[in-house]
Chain A
């Protein structure tokens, strides 16, 4: 699909609504039950879906180890800050160093895994990536890298570097800005990809990789490009989130549930659609958030059947179904 100006405008409007709400909440306080952190959680899910969509949605490959990028992002940022603290450097150095580490680590992982494992197809690729993720986790634990299983605690160093106020600012406003930026960046990159030859190449790969190769598409290059982009965005999201969770434990950081969440976000909205992650991220995040209060202890029992029902009724995802059944929406929903 090619994106018209209307499509892009509609996407940016959707995004702007959430961002606008976030800013509004920051200024006037929570609107009913809608708090700033809820909106940031939604943005987190949107960013996760959008970033993963660049790879999964566009190429059709399932990266079951996607969470490894987030984990490396978290570790990259957190260890950067901790190192700066230990070396007695000002905190800003730590954050810059953390960002550099995040990008280096995630792109390195993406290039290595992408270069090697992307030769595999379908479920083989999926499980190879699981192995990478679990392998990394047990390597961190087994060899005591980044404090190993004790967990890398970043709140202490942050408080000492930036003071209590500074830490609060980092854990809320600044990391919120980062989360929203990653979401926007992922959206913009998706738009750019789709509107250039990259999008065509990726679509060709998704529909029929062998045919694409025969037609002269450098499939490996495009796959690795999508994989790396998606991975770095995941890493940046992890880096932003590390300020919020303030501590990183291998079993949490490499928890495969994040990958499954990312898959749900992409598929629920509609793989390959750009509005999909925005819709599904909002839906998924708010369902969890509100059910947590309405039915504490039973929300998954309500949530899971909804998930199954939606996907059984609309296997092409919410946005996919909208486009399929209400043709008029195709003009502005991408």
Chain B
């Protein structure tokens, strides 16, 4: 199939678009890990909540899906605060691993609540903005804009981290919590704000994913993104938000572009192998550069 390789650029563009959202969806995880050393095992549940916020506000009130990004972010902030106070605050000085259970439990609670509130139905909506054409293949604008917004949010986060006092405090705590405390940083407040911001960005990315895919939203959809987020976080360097974004782009491109490549090589199951390739790549990177691409 010679003509398929000739459209490789399309695959790459498509991979960059989806990867940009994957990147945003990972930033919350990596931020929280960097500052609190907590792996949020229930990460996907917050993506799911973001998707539902967009879905409901669009279907019930016909709100423009892009505007639902704001309520999705706010819901995430609030959930992050709840998570911090309920499940994390008391465990900060406890054995490191205990937060694995509390974050997992919190995620399960959210999923089950969503199931009780909204049912286990697979939901979706249709929202279209027309398409661009690239190499004669349509590239829907509902996929382009979310990616652009994700990029915008990442830039905003960068500014927040590197140009504001709060950002300095966050980075200080990331590098050395005790040192930061000695220098007068209210570490607990930084923890609190990081979790809120991290979860807020995660739900916002959920909203963008909802606009991108629009279909198949259900209480357990987050599971699909949790693993991917773990992998991307390590690829970019745990604790590095910008690394996570770049990691997302890489995983996006691999997922899309390796399918035609494996097809050319005649693999029986190219899509399955492309996922395998992603994980193998992670292993290789971890071994060569355990701190990830942009890790310290």
Contact = CB atoms under 8 A, between A and B. Distances in A.
Interface of A: 56, 60, 62, 116-117, 119-120, 123-124, 126-128, 130-132, 134-135, 138-139, 141-144, 148-149, 256, 260, 263-264, 267-268, 271, 298, 300-301, 303-305, 307-308, 311-312, 315-316
A135 B281 CA distance: 10
B90 interface: yes
B236 to A, nearest CB: 12
B227 A308 contact: no
Interface of A is mostly: helix
Contact of B101 (A124, A143, A148, A268): A268
B238 interface: yes
B279 A305 contact: no
A142 B109 contact: no
B100 interface: yes
Given A127-B286, A304-B109, 7 more contacts: A128-B286, A131-B280, A135-B276, A142-B270, A301-B113, A311-B91, A316-B95
Contacts of A256: 227
Interface string B82-114: 000011001100111110111011101101110
A298 B117 CA distance: 12
Nearest to B282: A131
A307 B100 CA distance: 11
B247 to A, nearest CB: 12
B273 interface: yes
B95 A312 contact: no
Contacts of A124: 234, 238, 286, 290-291
B120 to A, nearest CB: 9
B73 interface: no
Contact of B97 (A120, A138, A267, A298): A267
B276 A142 contact: yes
Contacts of B33: 123
A124 B267 CA distance: 31
A312 B102 contact: yes
A205 to B, nearest CB: 14
B227 A120 contact: no
Given A128-B286, A305-B109, A315-B91, A267 B280 contact: no
Contacts of A312: 86-87, 90-91, 102
B233 interface: yes
B60 interface: no
A304 B108 contact: yes
B109 A134 contact: no
A141 B233 contact: no
A141 B272 contact: yes
A300 B291 CA distance: 36
Kindly name the residue among B98, B102, B275 whose own CB sees the greatest number of chain A CB atoms within 10 A. B98
B29 to A, nearest CB: 10
A263 B105 CA distance: 12
18 contacts: A62-B97, A62-B100, A119-B287, A124-B291, A127-B230, A128-B282, A131-B231, A131-B283, A132-B283, A134-B231, A138-B279, A141-B272, A267-B101, A271-B97, A304-B112, A308-B86, A308-B105, A312-B90
A135 B231 CA distance: 11
A271 B108 CA distance: 22
A299 B41 CA distance: 20
A249 to B, nearest CB: 14
B101 A264 contact: yes
A301 B105 contact: no
A214 to B, nearest CB: 21
A123 B39 contact: yes
B98 A267 contact: yes
Contact of A130 (B108, B231, B272, B287): B231
Contacts of B113: 301
B87 A308 contact: yes
Given A138-B275, A143-B269, A300 B108 contact: yes
Nearest to A141: B272
A130 B227 contact: yes
B116 interface: yes
B108 A315 contact: no
B102 A311 contact: yes
A270 B214 CA distance: 43
A271 B95 contact: yes
A199 to B, nearest CB: 18
Nearest to B101: A311
A316 B91 CA distance: 10
B136 interface: no
Contacts of B234: 123-124, 127-128, 131
Nearest to B97: A267
B268 interface: yes
Contact of A120 (B100, B231, B286): B286
Contacts of A148: 269
A267 B100 contact: yes
A127 B90 contact: no
Contacts of A268: 101
A130 B286 contact: no
Contacts of B90: 312, 315
Nearest to B275: A138
Given A143-B268, A260-B41, A300-B112, A315 B273 contact: no
